[in-house]
A and B are shown apart, each in its own frame.
Chain A
Amino acid sequence: NAGVTQTPKFQVLKTGQSMTLQCAQDMNHEYMSWYRQDPGMGLRLIHYSVGAGITDQGEVPNGYNVSRSTTEDFPLRLLSAAPSQTSVYFCASVGQVAGELFFGEGSRLTVL
């Protein structure tokens, strides 16, 4: 009963490096999203997807790229990491009830 699985849990990057945060869910949910969590700011939506092949921008999309080739997977790509992207990233999928999100355990990213 895995739910939403994120990898890696921790990552340190240098400015300018690129990387991909992986997210997979086994609940057959159509809707998936990525949030970042920063102290004192709650969670802010980066990108979301309403189904395979469909993605859209959230509140803070700059510097991030996503794709959704399957229902299960929704990777988040950092194109050229910047210190401002130091954060905790959460992937979530949405079940049958509007607003009921199922979150992964998070990926803590540090950009030096």
Chain B
Amino acid sequence: GNSVTQMEGPVTLSEEAFLTINCTYTATGYPSLFWYVQYPGEGLQLLLKATKADDKGSNKGFEATYRKETTSFHLEKGSVQVSDSAVYFCALSAGGTSYGKLTFGQGTILTVHP
């Protein structure tokens, strides 16, 4: 079956530091890949997505590139802010009739200190 593995957290950084959160996946076919973010006390919201190999998703300074050869979709940001403190989830959708069914990673807690 499909699965998503994220790097263990929590991750603690100082403001303006570089962020990488690793994500690898196992899936048949050509899944779409997503990063969702959950701020304290809120539901998840879509941060960025990529639907085919070599696509780069980007939003709010975050980027991730769909690497089929390494089955990875690592999240990066060049300079984090305190307001980026949240839980980040990598997810995949197998598409087709499963277009609304996502497989999530376990989540990575990010804390950014001033």
Docked pose: A28 CA to B21 CA in angstroms? 34
Q: Are A99 and B49 in contact (CB under 8 A)?
A: yes
- Determine how close the nearest CB of chain B comes to the CB of A90; give it in whole angstroms: 6
Question: Taking chain B's interface residues, is the majority helix, strand, or loop, or is none over half, making it mixed?
Answer: strand
B→A interface (CB under 8 Å):
4, 32, 34, 36, 41-46, 49, 51, 89, 91-93, 95, 99-102, 104-107
Taking A31-B99, A98-B51 as given, write out 13 further A-B residue pairs in contact, using a Cβ cutoff of 8 Å, ordered by the A residue number: A42-B106, A43-B102, A45-B101, A48-B101, A92-B43, A94-B99, A94-B100, A98-B93, A98-B99, A99-B95, A101-B100, A103-B43, A105-B41
A→B interface (CB under 8 Å):
4, 31, 33, 35, 40-45, 48, 50, 58, 90, 92, 94, 97-101, 103-106
